[in-house]
Copies of this chain bind each other. A is one copy, B any other.
């Protein structure tokens, strides 16, 4: 069903038909369909949904729409949503809502819920604690398979996942995990102790979300338990939330590598001022860094005025240096992010980039020399100067581009800032110095 059909059904008040069509849809698609609609219509349709579906659709709404809905519905309706919402979605909701709506939400929570909400709000952003939810299935090792399955049958619908269950002791310490698959393929009278897995991989509430994403990628888990400092099970993280983290981490790297402060907001939702603030500081820093290149050109003014043809190759040399460095730094930064490259590989990287840059540098220099002689007709000395500079520039850029991200990692900085723009600024300075030095030597200026 698309927006047109929806509006048509509403106008003709064909509510029963509308209800039926909605019931065939996925909650994600309903939320998407309602997204561009005006408030009274959204509320009308929202109230038409079966209660459980309404809560699910609500969890996929944008923050603005969630705020509209909370403003409009009764306390009773709100209480139902809050009760049914998974705890991680509830925490996300509270973090996004304006103060008056947070008050309305807290007023509809019990004392215990408020205590738990406060505890969760304290986990640092981007930590495992901020990603986890509390709706998991807890089993005891003395249970039989039959009893465990009966337990899951009773409470399963209100849990985020039932596919991995957690075995805890009386102090809630995490002892083992058991998959629903193991339960379903085992005979009724088998005791959980005999089929559970005690070699558990888990994370701590304060572990970084990048670490968590790495574990999911490595092992292919559907869910991961989160424990506190005393090894007590406090929550679980499910794979669907980790896919968002992976996408967000990649986006942040893209932004840092293009000389911007990372932002979690989407482009279209960000205001012009926010986007400008994300971009201007780095542009300013890099612009002022350009003073070095200017200084070098001023210093070698006599070389340039003696052989005017040299000026024409400055842009090409700078760009080639920048591009060569970006290629290397991008591969290393990405390799560090995916875990394929580690700090200890620095000598391998150095040796590899040295050989690659020798091949790339001489190829470019040869093509350029031919082009200079055949098309530009600038004479042997200028052609030779430009080509020699190309070899040195490509080699220096690639080695700097390969090593700087590793050094940044070593200094516990984000390797992604050592990307194109910064490398370009560094490489520019070196390129110009090499260029003028070679020119001075070859042409005895």
Whether B315 and A364, one on each chain, are in contact in the complex, defined by CB atoms closer than 8 angstroms, is no
Chain B residues closer than 8 Å to A316, beta-carbon distance: 287, 290-291, 293-294
Stretch at the interface among A11-19, A99-107, A215-223: A215-223
Chain B residues closer than 8 Å to A334, beta-carbon distance: 251, 254-255
Which residue of the partner chain, among B275, B284, B319, B371, contacts A424 with CB atoms under 8 Å?
B319
A250 at the interface (CB under 8 A from B): yes
Whether A280 and B180, one on each chain, are in contact in the complex, defined by CB atoms closer than 8 angstroms, is no
Bound state CA distance, A322 and B338, in angstroms?
A: 27
- List 18 extra interface pairs beyond A254-B254, A284-B364, A297-B314, CB under 8 A: A157-B181, A162-B181, A180-B184, A246-B247, A253-B254, A254-B333, A258-B323, A258-B330, A259-B323, A282-B327, A287-B319, A290-B319, A295-B312, A298-B312, A304-B308, A319-B425, A322-B424, A326-B421
Whether B243 and A352, one on each chain, are in contact in the complex, defined by CB atoms closer than 8 angstroms, is no
Whether B268 and A345, one on each chain, are in contact in the complex, defined by CB atoms closer than 8 angstroms, is yes
A239 at the interface (CB under 8 A from B): yes
Specify the chain B residue showing the minimal Cβ separation from A320. Answer: B287
Whether B359 and A276, one on each chain, are in contact in the complex, defined by CB atoms closer than 8 angstroms, is yes
> Interface digits, A351-391 against B, CB 8 Å rule (1 contact, 0 not)?
01001100110011001100100001000000000000010
Q: Name A298-355 residues within 8 Å CB distance of B.
A: 298, 301, 304-305, 308-309, 311-316, 318-320, 322-324, 326-327, 329-335, 338, 340-341, 345, 348-349, 352, 355
Whether A360 and B279, one on each chain, are in contact in the complex, defined by CB atoms closer than 8 angstroms, is yes
Known contacts A258-B330, A267-B335, A330-B257, A184 near B156 by CB under 8 Å: yes
Stretch at the interface among A22-30, A40-48, A110-118: A22-30
> Interface digits, A112-155 against B, CB 8 Å rule (1 contact, 0 not)?
00000000000000000000000000000000000001001100
Most buried by B among A259, A266, A315: A315
Bound state CA distance, A26 and B309, in angstroms?
A: 65
Interface size class of A (residues with CB under 8 A): 35 or more
Chain B residues closer than 8 Å to A222, beta-carbon distance: 163, 222, 239
Whether B26 and A199, one on each chain, are in contact in the complex, defined by CB atoms closer than 8 angstroms, is yes
A293 to chain B, nearest CB (A): 4
A-side residues, CB < 8 A to B, are 24-26, 28, 149, 152-153, 156-157, 162-163, 180-181, 184-185, 198-199, 201, 216-220, 222, 239-240, 242-244, 246-247, 250-251, 253-255, 257-260, 266-268, 272-273, 275-276, 279-280, 282-284, 286-288, 290-291, 293-295, 297-298, 301, 304-305, 308-309, 311-316, 318-320, 322-324, 326-327, 329-335, 338, 340-341, 345, 348-349, 352, 355-356, 359-360, 363-364, 367-368, 371, 376, 390, 394, 420-421, 424-425, 428, 432
A38 to chain B, nearest CB (A): 20
A106 to chain B, nearest CB (A): 28
Whether B360 and A267, one on each chain, are in contact in the complex, defined by CB atoms closer than 8 angstroms, is no
Whether B364 and A287, one on each chain, are in contact in the complex, defined by CB atoms closer than 8 angstroms, is yes
Which residue of the partner chain, among B180, B253, B276, B294, contacts A360 with CB atoms under 8 Å?
B276
Whether B363 and A280, one on each chain, are in contact in the complex, defined by CB atoms closer than 8 angstroms, is yes
Bound state CA distance, A162 and B222, in angstroms?
A: 13
A224 to chain B, nearest CB (A): 13
28 contacts between A and B (CB under 8 A): A24-B198, A28-B219, A28-B220, A184-B184, A222-B222, A243-B243, A251-B334, A253-B254, A254-B334, A255-B330, A259-B326, A272-B355, A280-B364, A283-B323, A284-B364, A287-B316, A287-B368, A287-B390, A288-B367, A294-B313, A294-B316, A297-B311, A298-B309, A298-B312, A314-B315, A319-B322, A319-B421, A319-B428
Bound state CA distance, A40 and B244, in angstroms?
A: 42
Chain B residues closer than 8 Å to A349, beta-carbon distance: 267
Whether B318 and A318, one on each chain, are in contact in the complex, defined by CB atoms closer than 8 angstroms, is yes
Chain B residues closer than 8 Å to A288, beta-carbon distance: 367, 371
Chain B residues closer than 8 Å to A424, beta-carbon distance: 319, 322-323
Chain B residues closer than 8 Å to A244, beta-carbon distance: 217
Chain B residues closer than 8 Å to A268, beta-carbon distance: 335, 340-341, 345, 348
Whether B324 and A283, one on each chain, are in contact in the complex, defined by CB atoms closer than 8 angstroms, is yes
